[in-house]
């Protein structure tokens, strides 16, 4: 019997020391396996007399039951420990912010945002959007717009000219979006009411100029267009775009080959601590150029200036974006810096509307 007590202590100690399933299985095999200690004791019962078998059998079976219970208990402990470890590995800390994915992490570039804002404003006034190619002919970019031969804007220091084609014609990267106005007038009869947003190109680069930039121009041609209409359109645009109830405007005489008379437009503002506020203050800031469409331009595009007249205007999208949203350097627009776009960009679903607010 002393051997049974020693075997019990040894077996239970091995079970208690098992810290994983493989160690517990080894303890089970050592006790109940084909060559296990308890299995060996049970095999000896057949050689004993009935009285000895009865006495020893009861003791061995009691040991067998105790070891089986210990195995089951330790197996349950190990199973619970494994579950706890798994739960700890897979725990989600709901106190941390959820990582944004998909559309919530994207940002709309300020230029795209401002272009959408301008389109929303003029669409409300009944304007449609017209587009044209970035590579233009000299005829559409200059001649039909009343640029005389030898005009400085035709020279290499302003314009990106391409290599001559087989016919000797040199195409160019458009220097303004005015060729879109030409293309529209050539294929569409008045009345015309369009805006022309897009990329433009000039040989210039500094803090407020880049070789590629964005413009938006507007054109109205009908039999009743006047400077008063032009003034109203621009005033309504500035109030809506800068989101102010009133904005003072000043029209100064200027010169553009394609308009007559030609005007530069200043808007009322207040400068304070590097910030510009519109619709208040005593300062003025030039924002765009405009005028009545020159009769030569109408004639060049197949429209009789005796029957129709029109007005047009143009402004830099990049410039008005800088003014509205306080962007200090035009070159940052084109650096593709993710940190910059995350800071200055707009959420994709913040679609500009006059009813809901242009800038959200």
223: Cβ contacts below 8 Å, ≥ 6 apart: 190, 191, 307, 308, 309
2-17 and 21-32 are packed helices; what angle lies between their axes, rounded to 10 degrees?
160
Q: Map residue 343 onto helix, strand or coil.
A: helix
Instruction: State the average pLDDT for the chain.
Output: 86
pLDDT tens digit sequence for 301-329: 999 999 999 999 999 999 899 888 888 88
pLDDT tens digit sequence for 178-199: 999 999 999 999 999 999 999 9
Q: What is the pLDDT of residue 156?
A: 57
Residues 73, 206, single domain; the answer is no
Q: What is the pLDDT of residue 304?
A: 96
Whole-prediction pTM:
0.69
Residues 178, 228, single domain; the answer is yes
Mean local confidence (pLDDT), 222-249: 93
Judge whether residue 351 has pLDDT over 80: no
Mean local confidence (pLDDT), 116-121: 93
Banded pLDDT at 6 (limits 50, 70, 90):
confident
Domain boundary among 89, 114, 136: 89
Give the torsion sign (CA, 188, 191, 195, 201): positive
Angle at 259 between CA 219 and CA 286, to 5 degrees: 80
Judge whether residue 207 has pLDDT over 70: no
Residue 96 lies in a domain: no
Q: What is the pLDDT of residue 2?
A: 54
Q: Lowest mean pLDDT of 55-59, 108-112, 148-152, 323-327, name the range.
A: 55-59
Residues 31, 172, single domain; the answer is no
Q: What is the pLDDT of residue 59?
A: 75
Domains in the chain, number: 2
Judge whether residue 360 has pLDDT over 70: no
pLDDT tens digit sequence for 44-69: 766 777 767 677 777 777 777 887 88
Q: Lowest mean pLDDT of 5-9, 215-219, 231-235, name the range.
A: 5-9
Domain boundary among 89, 114, 139: 89
Residues 79, 213, single domain; the answer is no
Q: Map residue 157 onto helix, strand or coil.
A: coil
Residues 177, 320, single domain; the answer is yes
Judge whether residue 345 has pLDDT over 70: yes
Q: What is the pLDDT of residue 191?
A: 95
Judge whether residue 18 has pLDDT over 60: yes
Q: What is the pLDDT of residue 46?
A: 67
- Phi first, then psi: what are they for 164, rounded to 5°? -60, 145
Domain boundary among 89, 113, 143: 89
Going by the DSSP 8-state scheme, the letter that residue 129 receives in this structure is: E
What are the angstrom distances between the C-alpha of 15 and each of 2, 34, 79?
20, 18, 14
Residues 320, 188, single domain; the answer is yes
218: Cβ contacts below 8 Å, ≥ 6 apart: 122, 127, 194, 195, 196, 233, 312, 313, 314
Residue 59 lies in a domain: yes
Residues 46, 144, single domain; the answer is no
Judge whether residue 8 has pLDDT over 90: no
Residue 98 lies in a domain: no
Residues 196, 334, single domain; the answer is yes
Residue 82 lies in a domain: yes
Angle at 213 between CA 275 and CA 321, to 5 degrees: 25
Residue whose structure tokens are 């109205």? 220
Residue 300 lies in a domain: yes
pLDDT tens digit sequence for 135-144: 999 999 999 9
pLDDT tens digit sequence for 262-293: 999 999 988 887 778 888 888 999 999 999 99
Q: What is the pLDDT of residue 259?
A: 95
Could you tell me the CATH number of the domain that includes residue 301?
Answer: 3.30.930.10
Residue 72 is part of which domain span? Answer: 2-89
Residues 120, 161, single domain; the answer is yes
Residue 358 lies in a domain: no
Judge whether residue 359 has pLDDT over 70: no
Mean local confidence (pLDDT), 204-217: 82
Residues 142, 15, single domain; the answer is no
- Cα–Cα nearest to 178, from 195, 161, 190: 195
More confident residue, 71 or 250: 250
Q: What is the pLDDT of residue 208?
A: 64
| CA dist., res. 74 & res. 76, Å (int) | 5
Residues 65, 110, single domain; the answer is no
Residue 356 lies in a domain: no
Residues 79, 146, single domain; the answer is no
Q: What is the pLDDT of residue 355?
A: 65
Judge whether residue 244 has pLDDT over 70: yes
Residue 189 lies in a domain: yes
Angle at 191 between CA 186 and CA 195, to 5 degrees: 75
């Amino acid at each position: 019997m002393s051997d049974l007590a020693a075997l019990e202590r040894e077996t239970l100690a091995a079970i208690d020391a098992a810290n994983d399933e493989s160690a517990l299985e080894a303890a089970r095999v050592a006790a109940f396996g084909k060559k296990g200690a308890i299995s060996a004791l049970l095999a000896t019962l057949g050689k004993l007399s009935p009285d000895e078998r009865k006495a020893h059998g009861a003791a061995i079976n009691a040991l067998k039951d105790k070891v089986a219970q210990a195995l089951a208990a330790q197996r349950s402990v190990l199973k619970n420990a494994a579950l706890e470890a798994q739960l700890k590995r897979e725990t989600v800390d709901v106190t941390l912010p959820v990582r944004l994915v998909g559309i919530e992490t994207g940002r709309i570039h300020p230029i795209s945002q401002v272009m959408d804002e301008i389109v929303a404003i003029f669409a409300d006034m009944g304007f449609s959007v017209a587009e044209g190619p970035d590579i233009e002919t000299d005829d559409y970019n200059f001649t039909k717009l009343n640029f005389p031969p030898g005009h400085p804007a035709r020279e290499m220091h302003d314009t990106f000219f391409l290599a001559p084609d087989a016919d000797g014609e040199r195409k160019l990267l458009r220097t303004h979006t005015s060729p879109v106005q030409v293309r529209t007038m050539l294929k569409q009869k008045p009345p015309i009411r369009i805006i022309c947003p897009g990329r433009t190109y000039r040989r210039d680069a500094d803090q407020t100029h880049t070789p590629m930039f964005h413009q938006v121009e507007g054109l109205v041609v009908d039999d009743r267009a006047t400077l008063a209409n032009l003034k109203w359109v621009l005033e309504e645009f500035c109030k809506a775009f800068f989101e102010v109830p009133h904005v003072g405007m000043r029209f100064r005489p200027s010169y553009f080959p394609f308009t007559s008379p030609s005007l530069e437009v200043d808007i009322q503002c207040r400068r304070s601590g590097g910030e510009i506020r519109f619709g208040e203050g005593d300062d003025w800031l030039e924002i765009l150029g405009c005028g009545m469409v020159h009769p030569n331009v109408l004639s060049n595009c197949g429209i009789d200036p005796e029957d129709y007249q029109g007005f047009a205007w143009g402004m830099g999208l990049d410039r008005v974006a800088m003014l509205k949203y306080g962007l200090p350097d035009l070159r940052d627009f084109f650096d593709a810096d993710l940190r910059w776009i995350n800071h200055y960009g707009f959420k994709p679903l913040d679609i500009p509307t006059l009813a809901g607010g242009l800038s959200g």
